[in-house]
């Protein structure tokens, strides 16, 4: 839409009174892609929850619950998880290096471990000045530590040049996707799982590209299946979409699936066959609840000896660290054209660099303590992971026992994504309100029990099915209470709308 | 003068499309054009070469210098500026709260750290916050703005970002709808703006700032740029102003700010006011005038005329006296936007979840420093005045010294952290550069680097008047090192002039 020619443009001074009577940036003039992008994890429901929280804080007690239980976002430290002592000691020392002059006393008092002091000194000697911009791609010595970690995990060592330290894992995905979203090739498609962590759909929309969803198989614990990959790909190609990339989230969010080595081989071969850049979102690799271990897509690629363009993402935010607010992560590029790598470096440099405390935390993540700090570290780690395991079990027990709810095995990550067989009457009531049926259900759960979850429609799902995503991060005691209230709510809801 | 980009790739893309359908690696031809063409000289060819030389030095190779001097980037702590003790104590206390009881922090540090921890609902710095940032910090920013300008601000209009750059990119993404949308950008500019605009496919329309006028622009120049854009079928959406300026170091007088607001209001352009250097004003008689304050004053006098003026101001913890580049703290204030538009900006912020919590806390610390009477105030004052005096001293010294070097002339450095002197390049040098397919000032900067180890950024990276050449150097190295830079630069320039012949520019 073009604004009419304005005389004021040619009149110079004194033209102030002649301008049109509306603002420049409004909902009508804002970039359409921004309007269209959706990000349910921070959508209507959490907004309503925030309003309720506000009221409760101000002492209004009109709700049948005293407090909200936040199961809507993978934000462990917000709901009671503690950071690891060693990590925070090192970071505090790096933030205020003048504390090191006191370090002996603090170690004696048991406020610092000798190993934390040693690690801080080691990093400081490598010029870890937290107040300065670093190389765009991040501290070299930290990137080398990432390479060491990959070597011990997978048996091969990537080139440190291809490791970027990022403000959380999303930055790596965003970088690659923005480079791939080449409009001159046509409508670009990014394959991503359904259901999926909605960052990928939001990014696709913002980049004016199409999300090519491949359905995960709910009957098989949300497995990735080759037929589903092929079906999605073929359908997109038929519609003239240029499919450039495949996103695989393993362990899955919200699906909680830990993919088997066989599945991963299918995935890697598929990506190679269709010439897709594989985006391996592996931020939950430390959150494994299955008997079979986590296997990285990169290691599978090496095993199959395939020259596949792959970018692997990891983050501080999940696992047992849960350091969401620190915003740290890395991405590793393998098999990319050297000129493209230069472009990625250029793109990264426009961001200057990611925050230094986050970068240093990545070093702490990939290289845990081994000396006097190790015992406490192991203890804390096992406590967090053990607690997550326990809470996943409570969730599974409660939800599977409810009529009208079916739940797949929780193989990993931090979420359950149960299916609710909503009665027709409920669906109708939701439609009358102009709201998605699962959002309708979740909103009532919120108002009745204080439980904050995310409706499945925010993650996409098979048409006509309804889900919700809940985390199992709040404390054991809160989870038990919340699950009990939720069970009552659910049974009541099903009765009311039967 | 306005200069616009045409990006017609029809023939090129047709050829490429066919070959891109064959299975092959992801190469430049498959890359989004806009991303591919975006440039960011501050981390471009000269610093890249510096990286190579650094590696050589490390490997023990003999070079004409012992060490590199990084004058290419506003990165104070990397060249010896000390962090502010109070800020680091609070940050460390928030990071590891067990140290709060160790008896190592003054009372006000403990109090502030406890407040920030409470603001996170005692989750600490490891939890995501609201997408717009911790409410307490946004309240502190609002209070700061009230103190600074005398006009109230609302926390709901304030968003905490990963450095100011994140805010700038977000604003530009929202403003640019399609390839016919454009923005007025100053020339010379901090090249984030051209890069961000290129990446979203918007048109860059430059307005010149005139060196002989102390790097100011004029109403006529702005009008001309806008008219040229209109003629080219470009819909201008916004105008960037960097004050204090980067790279030019000029500080706008109040009447300049008024003129710019008037122009933007007439043309219905959103003003993007990059004010990250607002604490860096050195020149006698110069003062920082915030766009927000001047706008509010204008609105007070004439509410009707300025009713619909829209402004986004940016600030950062990377510059000023605090210089905490690595923390990536910053904020943006939206002035004159509807709640519905703000909701959209919140949604955009949500896709990055939240900026790092510690960076947010640094913003709070920056806008709410220790007050007289606080236990940490004395040390804080001592540290900050030393830094400010150092910067002021070096701004003066640099201006004076550069103007003594033959062929180099510098405008007075009013503020910010840089000198942007012009270099007169002999014809022979210009020709050699053309042969090597380099920018002439790129050639000069590279030679300066190879001969002296001084890392600068060529003026071509920031934009400049056709036929003129500049380079940007910071004023950050400590006094002694700065003298060394001046001496080496002078010698280099004398040799350069001799080599390429002194006459016939």
A245 contacts in B (CB within 8 Å)? none
* Chain A: closest CA distance from residue B489 (Å): 25
**Using an 8 Å Cβ cutoff, are B476 and B75 in contact?**
yes
Tell me what pLDDT residue B347 has. Answer: 87
Confidence band (pLDDT; 50, 70, 90) for A170? Answer: confident
3-state secondary structure of A19: coil
**A46-60, A136-150, B64-78: lowest mean pLDDT where?**
A46-60
Helix %, strand %, coil % of chain A (to 5): 50, 15, 40
pLDDT digits (tens, 9 = 90+) for A290-313: 999 999 999 999 999 999 999 999
Helix, strand, coil: what percent of chain B each, to 5?
50, 10, 40
What is residue A6's predicted lDDT score, i.e. its pLDDT?
43
On whether the CB atoms of residues A440 and A387 are closer than 8 A, the answer is no
Q: Give the separation between CA B131 and CA B352, rounded to whole angstroms.
A: 8
Sequence spans of domains, chain A: 40-79+385-497, 140-366
pLDDT of residue A47: 85
| The pLDDT of residue B11 is above 80 | no
**Measured between CB atoms, does A119 come within 8 Å of chain B?**
no
Cβ–Cβ < 8 Å for A360, A336: no
Backbone angles phi, psi at A117, to 5 degrees: -60, -45
Q: For the residues A223-247, what does the mean pLDDT come to?
A: 96
**pLDDT-derived band of residue A25, with 50, 70 and 90 as boundaries?**
confident
- pLDDT at position B22 is 54
Tally of CB atoms within 10 A around B387: 19
Size of interface A-B (CB pairs under 8 A): 310
pLDDT at residue number B48: 87
pLDDT at B23: 64
Q: Which tokens in the block code for residue A137?
A: 């791609």
What band does B34 get if pLDDT is binned at 50, 70 and 90? confident
Looking at chain B, which residue has its C-alpha nearest residue A347? Answer: B35
Cβ–Cβ gap B347/A34 under 8 Å: yes
Find chain B residues with C-beta within 8 A of A42's C-beta.
131, 347, 350, 353
b/e per residue, B283-309, with b = 16+ CB within 10 A? Answer: beebebbbbbbbbbbbbeeeeebbebb
Burial track B344-375 (b if 16+ CB lie within 10 A, e otherwise): bbbbbbbbbbbbbbbbbbbbbbbbbbbeeebb
In whole angstroms, give the CA distance from residue B391 to residue B479. Answer: 9
The pLDDT of residue A23 is 78
Q: How many C-beta atoms surround the C-beta of residue A387 within 10 A?
A: 18
Q: What is the pLDDT of residues B311-327, one digit of tens each?
A: 999 999 999 999 999 99
Q: What was the pLDDT predicted at A350?
A: 87
What is the pLDDT confidence band of residue B2, given thresholds at 50, 70 and 90? very low
Angle, CA A160 vertex, CA A156 and CA A164 arms, to 5°: 115
How confident is the model over A34-51, as pLDDT tens digits? Answer: 877 776 666 788 889 989
As a whole number of angstroms, the distance between CA A31 and CA A415 comes to 33
Least CB–CB distance from B31: residue in A85, A95, A340: A340
What confidence tens digit (pLDDT) does each residue in B186-223 have? 999 999 999 999 988 899 999 999 999 999 999 999 99
pLDDT digits (tens, 9 = 90+) for B222-256: 999 999 999 999 999 999 999 999 999 999 999 99
Integer CA distances (angstroms), A68 to A392, A486, B142, B192, B481, in order? 19, 12, 29, 42, 58
Judge: B352–A25 Cβ closer than 8 Å, yes or no: no
Q: Cα–Cα distance between A321 and B25 in angstroms, integer?
A: 36
Q: For the residues A244-251, what does the mean pLDDT come to?
A: 96
Q: Which chain B positions have a beta carbon within 8 Å of A322's beta carbon?
A: 126
Instruction: Tell me the C-alpha distance between A413 and A45, whole Å.
Output: 22
The tokens for B228 are 């040229």
Nearest chain A Cα to B11, which residue?
A184
Q: Which residues of B touch A355 (CB under 8 A)?
A: 162, 326-328, 356, 358-359
- For chain A, the straight-line distance linking the first and the last C-alpha, in angstroms and rounded, comes to 50
DSSP H helices, B104-218, are 107-119, 135-149, 163-175, 192-199
pLDDT digits (tens, 9 = 90+) for A182-191: 888 889 999 9
Contact check, Cβ <8 Å, B223/A26: no
Q: What is the pLDDT of residue A26?
A: 81
Q: Buried (b) or exposed (e) across B101-114, using 16+ Cβ within 10 A? A: ebebbbebbbebbb
Confidence of residue B182 (pLDDT cuts 50, 70, 90): very high
What DSSP element (H or E) covers A151? Answer: helix A140-154
Using a CB-CB cut-off of 8 Å, the residues of chain A touching B267 are 6, 8-9
Q: Which of residues 122-151 of A touch B (CB under 8 A)?
A: 129-136
Cβ contacts of A183 on chain B, cutoff 8 Å: 32-33
Mutate to test the interface with A, among B20, B95, B261 (most CBs of A within 10 A): B95
Give the span between the Cα atoms of A267 and B82, in whole angstroms.
51
| Angstroms from B324 CA to nearest CA on chain A | 4
Rounded CA-CA distance A64/A428 in Å is 26
pLDDT at A83 (0 to 100):
97
For chain A positions 52-81, those within 8 Å of chain B (CB to CB) are: 73, 75-79
A265 lies within 8 A of chain B by CB? no
Does the beta-carbon distance from B328 to A354 stay under 8 Å?
yes
- Under an 8 A CB cutoff, do B227 and A9 touch? yes
Structure tokens at A351: 């961001």
Residue found under tokens 């498959």? B30
Would you say residue B4 has pLDDT above 80?
no
Does residue A18 have a pLDDT over 60? no
ipTM of the complex: 0.92
Could you tell me which CATH number the domain at A140-366 has? 3.40.640.10
CATH for A40-79+385-497, options being 3.40.30.10, 3.40.50.300, 3.20.20.70, 3.90.1150.10: 3.90.1150.10
């Amino acid at each position: 839409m073009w604004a009419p020619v304005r005389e004021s443009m040619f009149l110079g001074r004194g033209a102030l009174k002649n301008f049109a009577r509306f603002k420049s940036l409004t909902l009508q003039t804002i970039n359409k892609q921004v309007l269209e992008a959706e990000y349910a994890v921070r959508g209507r429901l959490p907004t309503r929850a925030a309003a309720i929280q506000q009221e409760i804080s101000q002492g209004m007690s009109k709700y049948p619950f005293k407090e909200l239980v936040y199961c809507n976002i993978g934000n462990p430290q917000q709901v009671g998880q503690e950071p690891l002592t060693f990590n925070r000691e090192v970071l505090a020392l790096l933030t205020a290096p003048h504390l090191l002059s006191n370090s002996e006393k603090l170690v004696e008092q048991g406020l610092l471990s000798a190993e934390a002091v040693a690690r801080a000194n080691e990093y400081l000697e490598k010029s870890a000045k937290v107040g300065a911009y670093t190389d765009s791609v991040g501290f070299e010595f930290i990137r080398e530590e990432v390479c060491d970690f990959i070597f011990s995990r997978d048996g091969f060592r990537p080139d440190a040049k291809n490791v970027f330290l990022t403000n959380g894992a999303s930055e790596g995905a965003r970088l690659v996707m923005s480079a791939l979203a080449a409009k001159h090739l046509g409508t670009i498609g990014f394959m991503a799982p359904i259901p999926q962590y909605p960052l990928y759909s939001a990014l696709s929309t913002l980049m004016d590209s199409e999300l090519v969803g491949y359905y995960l198989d709910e009957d098989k614990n949300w497995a990735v299946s080759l037929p589903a990959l092929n079906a999605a790909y073929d359908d997109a190609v038929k519609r003239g979409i240029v499919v450039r990339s495949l996103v695989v989230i393993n362990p899955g969010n919200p699906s909680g699936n830990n993919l088997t080595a066989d599945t991963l081989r299918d995935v890697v071969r598929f990506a190679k066959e269709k010439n897709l850049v594989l985006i391996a979102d592996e931020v939950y690799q430390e959150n494994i609840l299955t008997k079979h271990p986590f296997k990285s897509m990169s290691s599978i690629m090496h095993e199959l000896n395939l020259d596949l363009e792959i970018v692997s993402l990891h983050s501080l935010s999940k696992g047992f660290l849960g350091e969401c607010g620190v915003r740290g992560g890395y991405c590793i590029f393998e098999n990319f054209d050297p000129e493209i790598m230069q472009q990625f470096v250029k793109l990264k440099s426009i961001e200057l660099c990611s925050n230094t405390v986050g970068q240093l935390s990545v070093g702490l993540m990939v290289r845990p303590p081994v000396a006097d700090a190790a015992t406490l570290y192991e203890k804390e780690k096992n406590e967090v992971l053990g607690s997550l395991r326990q809470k996943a079990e409570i969730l599974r027990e409660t939800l599977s026992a409810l009529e009208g709810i079916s739940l797949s095995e929780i193989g990993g990550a931090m979420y359950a994504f149960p299916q609710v067989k909503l009665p027709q009457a409920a669906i109708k009531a939701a439609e009358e309100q102009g709201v998605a049926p699962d959002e309708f259900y979740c909103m009532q759960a919120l108002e009745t029990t204080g439980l904050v979850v995310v409706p499945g429609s925010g993650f996409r799902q098979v048409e006509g099915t309804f889900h919700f995503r809940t985390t199992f991060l709040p404390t054991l005691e809160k989870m038990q209470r919340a699950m009990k209230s939720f069970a009552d709510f659910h049974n009541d809801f099903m009765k009311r709308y039967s | 003068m306005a200069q616009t980009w045409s990006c017609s790739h029809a023939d090129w893309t047709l050829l490429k499309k066919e070959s891109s359908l064959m299975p092959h690696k992801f190469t430049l031809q498959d890359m989004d054009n806009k991303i591919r063409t975006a440039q960011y000289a501050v981390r471009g060819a000269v610093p890249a070469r510096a990286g190579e030389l650094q590696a050589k030095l490390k490997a023990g190779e003999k070079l004409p210098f012992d060490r590199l001097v990084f004058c290419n980037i506003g990165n104070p702590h990397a060249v010896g500026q000390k962090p502010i003790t109070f800020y680091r104590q609070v940050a460390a206390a928030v990071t590891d709260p067990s140290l709060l009881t160790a008896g190592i922090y003054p009372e006000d540090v403990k109090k502030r750290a406890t407040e920030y921890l409470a603001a996170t609902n005692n989750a600490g710095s490891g939890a995501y916050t609201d997408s717009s940032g911790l409410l307490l910090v946004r309240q502190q920013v609002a209070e700061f703005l009230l103190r600074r300008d005398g006009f109230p601000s609302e926390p709901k209009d304030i968003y905490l970002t990963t450095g100011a750059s994140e805010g700038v990119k977000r604003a530009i993404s929202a403003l640019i709808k399609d390839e016919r949308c454009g923005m007025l950008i100053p020339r010379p500019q901090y090249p984030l703006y051209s890069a961000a605009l290129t990446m979203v496919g918007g048109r860059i329309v430059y307005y010149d700032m005139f060196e002989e006028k102390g790097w100011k622009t004029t109403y006529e120049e702005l009008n001309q740029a806008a008219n040229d854009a209109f003629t080219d079928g470009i819909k201008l959406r916004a105008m960037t102003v960097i004050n204090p300026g980067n790279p030019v170091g000029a500080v706008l007088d109040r009447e300049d700010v008024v003129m710019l607001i008037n122009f933007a209001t007439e043309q219905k352009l959103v003003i993007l006011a990059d004010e990250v250097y607002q604490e860096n004003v050195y020149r006698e008689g110069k003062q920082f005038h915030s766009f927000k304050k001047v706008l509010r004053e204008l609105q007070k006098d004439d509410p009707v005329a300025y009713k619909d003026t829209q402004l986004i101001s940016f600030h950062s913890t990377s510059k000023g006296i605090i210089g905490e580049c690595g923390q990536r703290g910053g904020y943006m204030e939206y002035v004159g936007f509807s709640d519905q538009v703000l909701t959209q900006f919140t949604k955009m912020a949500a896709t990055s979840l939240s900026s790092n919590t510690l960076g947010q806390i640094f913003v709070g610390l920056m806008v709410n420093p220790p007050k007289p009477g606080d236990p940490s105030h004395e040390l804080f004052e001592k540290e900050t005045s030393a830094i400010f005096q150092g910067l002021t001293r070096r701004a003066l010294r640099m201006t004076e010294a550069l103007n003594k070097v033959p062929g180099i002339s510098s405008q007075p450095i009013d503020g910010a952290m840089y000198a942007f002197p012009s270099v007169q390049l002999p014809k022979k040098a210009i020709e050699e550069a053309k042969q090597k397919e380099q920018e002439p000032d790129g050639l000069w900067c590279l030679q300066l680097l190879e001969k002296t180890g001084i890392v600068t950024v060529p003026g071509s990276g920031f934009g400049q008047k056709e036929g003129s050449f500049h380079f940007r150097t910071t004023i950050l190295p400590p006094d002694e090192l700065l003298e060394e830079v001046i001496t080496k630069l002078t010698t280099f320039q004398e040799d350069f002039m001799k080599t390429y012949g002194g006459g016939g520019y």
